[in-house]
Homo-oligomer: A and B are copies of this chain.
Amino acid sequence: MKSYQEMTKEELLQEKAGLEAEYAKIKARGLALDMSRGKPSSEQLDLCMDMLDVIDSKSVLKSENGTDLRNYGIVDGIPEAKRLIAEIVDCKPENVIVYGNSSLNIMYDQISRAMTHGICGNTPWCKLDKVKFLCPVPGYDRHFAVTEHFGIEMINIPMSADGPDMDLVEKYVSEDPAVKGIWCVPKYSNPQGVVYSDDTVRRFANLKPAAADFRIFWDNAYCVHHIYEDKQAQILNILDECEKAGNPDLVFQFCSTSKVSFPGAGIAAISASAANIADIKKQLSFQTIGHDKINQLRHVRYFKDRAGIEAHMMKQAAIIRPKFEMVLDLLEKEIKPLGIGSWVNPLGGYFIGFETLEGCAKAVVAKCKEAGVVLTGAGAPFPYGKDPKDSIIRIAPTYPSLADLTEAANVFVTCVKLVSVEKLLER
């Protein structure tokens, strides 16, 4: 098969005619499909329904430390939940604070408190002329929305197959004291599924920031979210590496069970150095008397430990794996030979980050929409919604049924081809 780049104008025109006919047929079917949402399917959620039985009116709702979990108290999470989270992210329970249901809320609050009160005694960011964040791109739109909401200037950092461009990260972080943070999804990154290499993690841990209150916002959102049983990525432990590098306070690590148990009814946590945890707890005690301890206990009693979580995630993997594989196989077969797109084959997470020819992403998303297939808006994975090359599309295969997804993926493929041909004909 010839790639589109190798085709003559005449061949491209012929290809275009065929694709237009195909597209017209698709449109005529009046589809209504959605590949935009990074949400578990209801089959995945069904797997966890038994969790709702582990606590009932007969349960003794006491913590192992004797606290009546039905009453007020415990601002930093019940001991058993701290231990469960610590097992997941491989740190000590005393370095964990377990919150309510949303890690996004924890991240937002970390930024918000940095604005109003500063981090570990440093000047509150709202008193500074300028605060900047580094944003590996493509990345998670809600991260960028938080920093934009607080008026923080965002600087794009290109992603490679090993993680963010560390030369650039080191330069910005060491030279500019206004650079206060960086958003990272180190494992199965959103949307590309990139896994940070050991070298990348070590370089993060060894940063020499110009700002004393620079922090890595390490959103380990997909730490146990594998697609395969036999191919699972490992990343170095950032807390350990920071400690080794003499930079123990450099990182805030976030995680949650939102895509383990129930989104919206899970538990979320931060893990960090003793100094950071003490600083957070001091401020947190003004904000709340404590989070939902009964739901924390529900998670511990159901999952028990890391092994319990891992076993559960393998059941989820069995549901999402065919969906990922179908899309990836289709892309491999239909797109790769034509040289009009690239992607990482993810081993985990919730997305495929598809890179079109330059200047095609918006048009592909629009064409799909016109044909009844909703994708995440082009540009969404970039600060200010601006994809400089207009080439990244986030595909979310988990939520639709395999049948719907198959249909949607085929529409997507047709649209990518059609838009690519049109693009190449502009030359």
Contact = CB atoms under 8 A, between A and B. Distances in A.
Nearest to A55: B52
Given A264-B293, A294-B265, A288 B102 contact: yes
Contacts of A177: none
Contacts of A45: 68, 70-71
A108 to B, nearest CB: 4
Interface stretch (A1-9, A132-140, A144-152, A308-316): A144-152
A406 interface: no
B105 A288 contact: yes
Contacts of A112: 112, 116
A291 interface: yes
A80 interface: no
Given A116-B126, A264-B70, A265-B70, A287 B104 contact: yes
Contacts of A104: 287-289
Interface string A102-138: 1011001100100111000000101100000000000
A102 B150 contact: no
How many chain A residues sit at the interface, stated as a range, is 35 or more
A264 B291 contact: yes
Interface in A68-96: 68-74
A274 interface: no
Copies of the protein in its oligomer: 2
B264 A101 contact: no
A383 interface: no
A264 B69 contact: yes
Given A45-B71, A50-B57, A59-B52, A263 B289 contact: yes
A292 B126 contact: no
A100 interface: yes
B292 A71 contact: no
A42 interface: yes
Interface of A: 37, 39-40, 42, 45, 48-53, 55-57, 59, 68-74, 100-102, 104-105, 108-109, 112, 115-117, 124, 126-127, 142, 145-146, 149-150, 258, 262-265, 283, 286-295
10 contacts: A52-B57, A71-B263, A100-B101, A102-B291, A105-B287, A109-B287, A149-B286, A264-B292, A265-B292, A292-B292
